[in-house]
Amino acid sequence: MPRPRLPAPALFLSLAAFLVLVFYIVPLILTLWASLTPVRNWNVAQLRQFVGAENYKRLFHLIRFDPDVSTVVKTTIVFVAGTLAVNVLGGLLLALAAFIIEERASLGFRLLWFLPRMTPVAVFGLLWYYFFYPQGTLNAILLRLHLISHPVNWGQDVLPWGPWSIIIFVNGLVGVSYGMIIFYSAFKAIPKDIYRAALVDGARLRDLVFRIMLPLTRWHLIFVTVWQLLSLLTTYAHLFVLVEWGVVEKWHGMTWALYVFETAFGSAVNDQALASAAATLLVVVGIGLGLLTLRLMGFERELGAVRGEL
């Protein structure tokens, strides 16, 4: 068969390529560029001056010696690891529950878990603001149960795990439906006869889950883990609201992505050069972690050997 000529595929690819170029490649180059200049306070003329690795030196100095910035690093690690665990394991558990319960009930169940994702960020943030702030719902419940004697400002005073728990909780709720929906459809995609065969072979629920369902949805597990990992590294919308409204203490509620945002656009600093260096670092770490996760979970092995029917 003759190979298709270039123009047709090129035409189809051009739109996507254009979008990637304009919204990904160009900003990436601009960021990299800006990180090598002393640009501050939107003084774009400074984009012509080069300072070499100066911003990166400042950044690593801050990470080492500024307690606030090193807290941001710790918060990022705890937040990403914790929320990733909640999203992947929680998504698995919810998908299992949705799979096991009756079909009609399952739809409502899944919709319920989609609510956080469908709710606007500000509304969802406000909801949890009312829940966690000192005079909020959580303290009211705990006071009524006599578990505490006076209201506690969980997000500000209980450091570091108070704010960390809150940001993991809120983002976990938003993200968990993603894993749920992917895993649920993956479980559904396993042929019914496989489940029946396993049941006749004597499998209990535990055997079904660990010997049939999880091994057969390994690919989805890898995908959700890597996807969520990269999303969590860069997400900051909910965190921004929680920090801005004082639900959580500033540095213990701030991840690296939010730190980049605050440094570039925040009210206090407006140091675009430093923010660009921080953003570039985030991209490098993201790529590294993504590849590492793929390797750890045996992505190449999955790609290499096709198992089962195509």
Partner 1 sequence: MVEVELRGVWKRFGDFVAVKNVNLRFPDGKFSSILGPSGSGKTTLLYLIAGIYKPSRGEILFDGEDVSQLPPNKRNVGLVFQNYALYPHMTVYENIAFPLTIKGLPRGEIEERVHSVARMLHIDELLDRYPHQISGGQQQRVALARALVKEPALLLLDEPLSNLDALVRLEIRGELKRLQRRLGITTIYVTHDQSEALAMADLIAVIHRGEIQQVGSPEDVYRRPRNLFVAGFIGMPPANLVKATVTRAPAPCVVIAGGGEYCPGEPLASKLEALGLEAVVVAFRPEDVVLGEHPMEDYVSLEAEVYVVETLGRENLVTLRLPDGQAVKAITSPLLNPRPGDKMYVNVEPSKILLYDPETELNIEAIEAAPAARPVSLAEASERRRAAQEED
Q: Which residue, 60 or 299, has its beta carbon nearer to partner 1?
A: 299
Binders of partner 1: how many residues, by CB under 8 A?
A: 22
**Part of the chain binding partner 1 (CB under 8 A), chosen from 15-23, 45-53, 174-182, 192-200:** 192-200
203 scored as a contact of partner 1 (CB under 8 A):
yes
Residue 108 near partner 1 by CB under 8 A: no
Interface residue with partner 1 among 65, 200, 267, 268 (CB under 8 A) is 200
Whichever of 32 and 214 has its CB closer to partner 1, that residue is 214
Determine which residue in the list 2, 67, 120, 202 makes contact with partner 1, applying CB under 8 A: 202
Q: Rounded to the nearest 10 degrees, how much is the dihedral formed by the CA atoms of 125, 127, 131, 133? A: 50
* Residue 212 engages partner 1 in binding (rule: CB under 8 A): yes
Least spacing, CB of residue 213 vs partner 1, in Å: 11
Residue 157, Cβ neighbours under 10 Å: how many?
11
Counting contacts by CB under 8 A, is residue 209 touching partner 1? no
- Binding status of residue 306 toward partner 1 by CB under 8 A: yes
222 binds partner 1 (CB under 8 A): no
Kindly state whether residue 189 participates in binding partner 1, applying the rule CB under 8 A: no
- Any contact of residue 199 with partner 1 (CB under 8 A)? yes
Q: How far is the CB of 223 from partner 1 (least distance, A)?
A: 17
Q: How far apart are CA 281 and CA 55, in angstroms?
A: 11
Q: Which of 182, 166, 163 lies closest to 114, judged by CA?
A: 182
Question: What is the contact surface with partner 1 in residues (CB under 8 A)?
Answer: 191, 193-194, 196-204, 207, 211-212, 215-216, 218, 306-309
